[in-house]
Amino acid sequence: MTGPFFNSQLTIHNYQLSTLNYQFSKTHPTAYLWQKCLSVRSQFCEAVVSNGFLTREQMVSAASRYRLGATRRGGVIFWQIDREGRVHDGKVMYYLPDCHRNKSREAHPTWVSTLLRRRELFSAHPSPQTSHCLFGLHLLDAEKPCAIVESEKTAFVLSEKYPDYIWLATGGLGEVQPDKFRPLRGHHVIMFPDTDTDGIAYRRWSEAADLVMRSLFWEDSPPIRVSPMLEQRATEEQKQQKIDLLDFLLAAS
How many other β-carbons are positioned within 10 Å of the β-carbon of residue 146? Answer: 23
Per-residue pLDDT, 33: 63
Distance, CA of 16 to CA of 93 (rounded, Å)? 24
Cα–Cα nearest to 137, from 188, 192, 79: 79
Cα–Cα nearest to 182, from 87, 89, 83, 81: 83
Q: Going residue by residue through the chain (253 aa), what tens digit of pLDDT does each one get?
A: 333 233 333 222 222 223 222 333 444 444 466 677 789 999 999 999 999 999 999 999 999 999 999 999 999 999 999 999 888 899 999 999 999 999 998 889 999 888 877 766 555 544 455 689 999 999 999 999 999 999 999 999 999 999 999 999 999 998 999 999 999 999 999 999 999 999 999 999 999 999 999 999 999 999 999 999 999 999 999 999 999 999 999 999 8
Distance, CA of 135 to CA of 139 (rounded, Å)? 9
Query: How do the domains of the chain map onto residue ranges?
Result: 11-118, 137-252
Per-residue pLDDT, 241: 96
Residues 6+ apart with CB under 8 A from 225: 189, 190, 191, 209
137-252, what's its fold? Dna Topoisomerase Vi A Subunit; Chain: A, domain 2 (3.40.1360)
Per-residue pLDDT, 36: 75
Distance of CA 135 to the CA centre of its chain: 4
